[in-house]
Amino acid sequence: MDGAQLWQTLIQGVVQGITEFLPVSSKSHLILVGDLLERWFGTNSTKDETIELIVGLHLGTLLATMIVYWQDLWSLRTRHRLLLNMIIGSIPVAVVGLAFKDRLEATLVSPLFVGLGLFVTATFLLAAQRLEINLVELDQIRWPHALAIGCFQTLALLPGISRSGSTIAGGVMVGLTRHAATTFSFLLSVPAVGGVVLLKGFTLRHSHGLAIGQLLFGAVVSFAVGLVTLRFLIRVVTQRKLHWFAYYCLVLGVCVTAWQLWLRMQAV
């Protein structure tokens, strides 16, 4: 791993650690930052290398999630209703992700998709702020709640749509308390992100893309930064400040969409 690769991986590890848990779409920021870094350093990653790095960085934040929520995960041995709801909530993303895997991966190299998806994330966050019911606690979740939140999670397969933002907003809109929606969102992320990491790790195991040292370095950085960010997000959600991130997504979405449309006009 040369100096340029070291700096690129370090920066993207920090970006992943921050944006995976904040409702601003980590994939979007990895795509945007990756594109800018390649222009800056004069490098050019293949689609497989981009996906490899995204998967490696998500492994780090997955471990951070498991550490922060280890008590809830361990308690699933006896909380059978919650475990069943996690399974139900994971079905939509598994079905859609496997059925449209190649088409979804093709969107991971398009910053224009990022800009458009950020508008969707902003809409979810603002709607959750207005439609909050705040009634259902974590152990009171019923299967329709879990299925609805799982459908929101499916939308996050597209770049620009935040997984944490869509599932937390979806949970709040179907009646969960803010704390329950946040906890269930990140419990759902364990099978969702874990499944993607395992699947892509298996399919890319024979590829000659990024070095294993680069992937592990990125994972360690995203893990360390993610631990701090996740605890911060939990406080933000309980204080009803999700709309802060909606405004950020709107501004970034406008900037990215305008930038991409300008580049396309220049290419004509």
Distances (CA, A) of 36 to 27, 44, 122, 248: 14, 11, 23, 19
Q: Tell me the domain boundaries of the chain.
A: 3-267
Report the SS3 class of residue 244.
helix
Residue pair 31/12 in contact by the 8 Å Cβ criterion: no
> What is d(CA 144, CA 92) in angstroms, rounded to the nearest whole number?
13
Task: List the chain residues with pLDDT less than 70.
Answer: 1-3, 44-48, 105, 107-109, 201-211, 238, 268
8 A C-beta contact, residue 137 and residue 217: no
- How do residues 220-267 score in pLDDT, each as one tens digit? 999 999 998 888 887 777 677 778 899 999 999 999 899 888 888 887
Largest Cα span, the chain: 61
CA 72/CA 66 separation, integer angstroms:
9
**How much is the pLDDT for 47?**
64
pTM: 0.86
What is the pLDDT, as a whole number, of residue 71?
95
Instruction: State residue 247's pLDDT score.
Output: 93
Does residue 149 contact residue 184 with C-beta atoms inside 8 Å?
Answer: yes
Q: What are phi and psi of 44, to 5 degrees?
A: -150, 105
CA nearest neighbour of 157 among 99, 86, 225, 223: 99
State which H helix or E strand residue 209 sits in: none
State whether residue 175 is helix, strand or coil.
coil
**pLDDT value of position 72:** 94
